[in-house]
Structure 1
Amino acid sequence: MSDSLTLRRPDDWHLHLRDGAMLRAVLPETARHFARAIIMPNLVPPVVTGAQASDYRDRILDALPAGMQFQPLMTLYLTEETDPDDLAAAHASGLVTSVKLYPAGATTNSASGVSDFDKVRPVLERMAEIGCPLCVHGEVVDADIDIFDREAVFIDRVLDPIRRATPGLRVVMEHITTKTAAAYVRAHEKDLGATITTHHLVINRNHILVGGIKPHYYCLPVAKREEHRLALRAAATSGDARFFLGTDSAPHTDAAKLQPCGCAGCFTATNTLSILAEVFEQDGALDRLEAFAALNGPAFYGLPPNEETITLTKGAPVSYPDHIATDEGPVTVFDPMMPLHWRVS
């Protein structure tokens, strides 16, 4: 097997950059390897209008170190008060690439999300009309639904009804975590795609809970049983154009992760490409890594793939920092619990 792999420069179709000091610290970790990224809008307050998206994009570009090339693809945070005309104008101008649906209370900074899906139906219909994709955090938040079942229930109760009621709406099921979600994507050839994170290809729920609680493996949606992790790996490495990379890299300071009610999220921007190469090699699918990381996402979003290339070379294990320093405190880099032999050269 070759010890060198050249592929088009990849994109990240689900990324948290935060703002302020955190943004300035973590942005280079993504821009070093990725050409573009879908930027999550769950700031406090959230990015809900075109004007706010424009301001946030300016702050991201201002934080980009000299010499780095990176394009933030902006999203709007869907609320029950979202103005369809403002959304349509922002999308038509090229400012906004997609809209993000958070069920209210589903994850970090999702309190402003949707509780009554009938109230956003006019927005969804407008999005279908103009071809603006909807990115969904696919979990219900009902207290009587087990946290490990929330994705499957969301598909049945929320996602499938939305898609049936809104023909032509393009939907990205973000950070899928179950074989149920992977099977749902495969069963629908039109207007549906899914992102898979780096960490969900590596961890199952045992890694969070066995031998003591591991806060840095706690994320939402939470990692599931091993059978689901294996299903995600099969989907990611299959070459199927409906599956593509969205890291959901989510920086939190160690102080926020380690408190009694710790934050959900894994920070993977720094070492994602090395991890992915290791995973794809383990599964005999290195020839399909380019599709997952650099081709399938642009195809779904109707964008051209990047012309630039990167090269991964295999050798002695790569060393990555344990933490990224920020003015707010250290952020732990995801530990894949295995040696990483592929480095970006």
Structure 2
Amino acid sequence: MSEYLTLRRPDDWHLHLRDGEMLTAVAPASARLGRAIIMPNLVPPVVTGAEAEAYRGRIRAALPDGATLRPLMTLYLTETTDPADVVAAHSAGIIAAVKLYPAGATTNSASGVRDFDRVRPVLEAMAEAGIPLCLHGEVTDPQVDIFDREAVFIDRVLDPVRRATPGLRVVLEHVTTSDGVDYVRANEGIGATITTHHLVINRNAILAGGIRPHYYCLPVAKRESHRLALVEAATSGDPRFFSGTDSAPHPDSAKESACGCAGCFTAPNWLPIVAQVFQDEGALDRLEGFVSLNGPAFYGMPPNEDRITLRRRDRAAAFPTHITAGGETVTVFDPGFPLHWHVEDDA
């Protein structure tokens, strides 16, 4: 049995490629994308246009021959970011967006924002120049339960920031709750990325029957009702929702430790996983919108012209369980079900 589906080449609107040996190891897994928004939370972070341009050069050098990936760079917003540098970098085509991490919210976010009033001049300049703001949508208040931090962020930070900066285009990244889905649907000028792993796991995957560190991510997976809300949003055809994998590789030694780090490495197998989710929902006709059309429309870019083919076969696709990065291994995300959609590149 064989079914097939031809799509415009997909993009990834939230991707971690890291740097150094890790970059060299993971870049090939994303090489056949069209475009990807590249996260800037390196150590040290990418905070200026010159640093973004240099990082883009390292990414291009790490890609294999024949790669189609066009890295779309971002700047890491700090309380000392220069608005003029942000606007100049965007005007020069160096960056596509700016990323805001609340300080301490996730991996390598210590340099993020604590006082949102201090970044208001940058946000105002971005609104005027039409530069999107990508938000990690969680508060870091220790009094707020980790499963409630996205919902509280919407009330305490996201809505006030948007009201104070009319015209600012915002991406609520890796949305994980029905609260986030509802907020995006109720407001103009805001979109949301949905990750591969949040479409298929809930918090039980991390905790039930033992701690599974390779399902631990931030924002953390929520209860099943929230996962179902994400699936409904992704498969609905609503153009405000688009694919951003948040594929985040970490060495297994860092994941499998007394204080394991957050992140799921989905780059090798994300598209067959998402295709299965859409098949299960009877929504394969809306898959191209989610992975290939909605993201570029939000960012004001044309969709990719070239195509790929997804072919469903009786034989499950084979993916490595691990890759090697330097002297370390990185575990590839396991969705918990066989992947019968095979990717055939038509380029």
Q: Which residue of 2 aligns with 1:191?
A: 189
Q: Which residue of 2 aligns with 1:11?
A: 11
Deviation at 1:202, TM superposition (A): 0.3
- The answer to whether residue 25 in structure 2 is matched with residue 22 in structure 1 is no
- The answer to whether residue 65 in structure 2 is matched with residue 69 in structure 1 is no
- The answer to whether residue 123 in structure 2 is matched with residue 129 in structure 1 is no
Q: Write the letter of the residue equivalent to 2:105.
A: A
220, 240, 254: which one pairs with 1:222?
220
What is the alpha-carbon distance in structure 2 between the residues aligned to residue 169 and residue 263 of structure 1?
32
What is the alpha-carbon distance in structure 2 between the residues aligned to residue 69 and residue 300 of structure 1?
21
What is the alpha-carbon distance in structure 2 between the residues aligned to residue 7 and residue 139 of structure 1?
33
Q: Write the letter of the residue equivalent to 1:288.
A: R
Q: Write the letter of the residue equivalent to 1:291.
A: G
SS of 1:60's partner is helix
Q: Which residue of 2 aligns with 1:319?
A: 318
What is the alpha-carbon distance in structure 2 between the residues aligned to residue 88 and residue 310 of structure 1?
35
> What are structure 2's unaligned runs of at least 5 residues?
none
Q: Write the letter of the residue equivalent to 1:313.
A: R
Judge conservation of contact 1:195–1:243 (CA < 8 Å) in 2. yes
Deviation at 1:47, TM superposition (A): 0.3
Using the size of structure 1 for normalisation, the TM-score is: 0.98
What is the alpha-carbon distance in structure 2 between the residues aligned to residue 104 and residue 16 of structure 1?
18
- The answer to whether residue 249 in structure 2 is matched with residue 251 in structure 1 is yes
Equivalence map 1:15-164=2 (5 Å): 15-32=15-32, 34-164=33-163
Q: Write the letter of the residue equivalent to 2:122.
A: V
What is the alpha-carbon distance in structure 1 between the residues aligned to residue 211 and residue 87 of structure 2?
44
SS of 1:3's partner is strand
Judge conservation of contact 1:253–1:328 (CA < 8 Å) in 2. no
> Please, what is the CA RMSD of the aligned residues?
0.9
SS of 1:330's partner is strand
SS of 2:325's partner is coil
Q: Write the letter of the residue equivalent to 1:285.
A: A
Q: Deviations over 1:68-100 (max 9, x none)?
A: 121100000000000000000000011110000
What is the alpha-carbon distance in structure 2 between the residues aligned to residue 212 and residue 132 of structure 1?
43
Deviation at 1:328, TM superposition (A): 3.9
The more displaced of 87-96 and 61-70 is: 61-70
- The answer to whether residue 173 in structure 2 is matched with residue 179 in structure 1 is no
SS of 1:94's partner is coil
Judge conservation of contact 1:295–1:305 (CA < 8 Å) in 2. yes
Deviation at 1:66, TM superposition (A): 1.2
What is the alpha-carbon distance in structure 1 between the residues aligned to residue 93 and residue 78 of structure 2?
21
Q: Write the letter of the residue equivalent to 2:152.
A: V
Deviation at 1:325, TM superposition (A): 1.3
Aligned residues: percent identity? Answer: 71
- The answer to whether residue 203 in structure 2 is matched with residue 205 in structure 1 is yes
Q: Give 4+ residue runs of structure 1 displaced > 6 Å after superposition.
A: none
Deviation at 1:318, TM superposition (A): 1.0
What is the alpha-carbon distance in structure 1 between the residues aligned to residue 4 and residue 63 of structure 2?
29
Judge conservation of contact 1:22–1:328 (CA < 8 Å) in 2. no
Deviation at 1:324, TM superposition (A): 1.0
Using the size of structure 2 for normalisation, the TM-score is: 0.98
> What are structure 1's unaligned runs of at least 5 residues?
none
